[in-house]
Amino acid sequence: MEYRYLGESGFKISEITYGNWVTAGSQIENERAIASVHAALDAGISTFDTADVYANTVAESVLGEALKGQRRQSLEIFTKVFGPTGPKGHNDLGLSRKHIMESIDGSLTRLGTDYVDLYQAHRFDYFTPLEETMQAFADVVRAGKVLYVGVSEWTAQQLRDGAALAKQLGFQLISNQPQYSMLWRVIEGEVVPASKELGISQVVWSPIAQGVLTGKYLPGQQPPEGSRATDDKGGADFIKRWMQDDILNRVQRLKPIADEVGLSLAQLAVAWVLQNENVATAIIGASRPEQVHENVKAAGVTIPAELLSRIDEVLGDAVESDPAQTENSSPKQREA
């Protein structure tokens, strides 16, 4: 495993992060989820990403249980706040001071730790003054409950506004967590340039496009039994945008490129996002330990420029690159 600095800070994280978004507490039983976390530790992964909204807080509890007994100083634990949790009442979501101050305490209890290394605004909150949100983050940092602050799926302008307020309040934004893969490149035009200006790194999720870039989904055929595309607990909804024969055909044409660098298609996909110098880490998920062992082989890989160009040629107009997609990721109306 190799390690990279997160933003313009002295904080280092593993370039592969283990995430438990749609696995722990929802898609798979806890024993298998815990075994996958232990596989990540065995592979040298030290960075773990979760959120209070995942499985309505259960994912944090599962991660806390899985990390019990580990040396805390050797881990980097990330979580997030925004989405509706608990009974999903009128103050159980968003980035209000009330929700942030209550949510951090709940997350710490479930994770079994006195602090989280990175606390992230899971989306941008259009209904709370940004000043209120950033002041609350400043206060949880000063209270020692949070070491660093990041965001997720913020636009370039939102990053600039948030970073300016953070600086005034005596802390810094060091990360943004966007979706990013060979097929989903919406951050490249605006978010990445702004992040470089501001000293913010990307912590990217879905580098294998919800499993599509593994090549296991074949055009004209039913998805494999037990795969995410067959999951009725939410997995199928996230992957359906990619389940088109044209895209699946293009993914199959990437296999010779993966062979040239001695990687599987999944490893190629993870290694691809890590070629972007603004990406500090790629989040991988796993429904079984073997997937962790396979995906970590993408760490430390350099893909030659000529092969990067060939990837672009193969995927062509199947790539989504519209910067407006980032703004669309944050809800414009309240869920509660």
pLDDT of 143-199, one tens digit each?
Answer: 999 999 999 999 999 999 999 999 999 999 999 999 999 999 999 999 999 999 999
pLDDT(334) > 80: no
Give the confidence band of 300 by pLDDT, cuts at 50, 70, 90. very high
Q: Is 336 inside a domain boundary?
A: no
Mean of the pLDDT values across residues 57-71?
A: 94
Cα gap 260→244, rounded to integer Å: 26
Q: Is 22 inside a domain boundary?
A: yes
Q: What is the pTM of this model?
A: 0.93
Q: Is 334 inside a domain boundary?
A: no
Q: Is 335 inside a domain boundary?
A: no
pLDDT(326) > 80: yes
**Any catalytic annotation for residue 126?**
no
**Lowest mean pLDDT across 44-58, 219-233, 275-289, 298-312:** 219-233
Cα gap 165→174, rounded to integer Å: 13
**Considering its fold, how many domains does the chain have in total?**
1
User: In terms of residue numbers, what domain contains 89?
Assistant: 3-328
Output the CA–CA distances (angstroms, integers) from residue 39 to 78, 291, 300, in the order listed.
18, 9, 19
Q: Is 261 inside a domain boundary?
A: yes
Q: Is 333 inside a domain boundary?
A: no
Q: Is 237 inside a domain boundary?
A: yes
Residue 260, domain CATH: 3.20.20.100
Mean of the pLDDT values across residues 47-74?
A: 95
**Lowest mean pLDDT across 167-171, 223-227, 242-246:** 223-227
pLDDT(336) > 90: no
pLDDT(32) > 60: yes
Token pair belonging to 270: 């993870």
Nearest to 34 by CA among 71, 72, 70: 70
Active-site pick, 3, 5, 18, 54: 54
- Which pLDDT score, from 0 to 100, does residue 225 have? 73
pLDDT(278) > 90: yes
Q: Is 70 inside a domain boundary?
A: yes
Backbone angles phi, psi at 15, to 5 degrees: -75, -5
CB 272, CB 15: distance < 8 Å: no
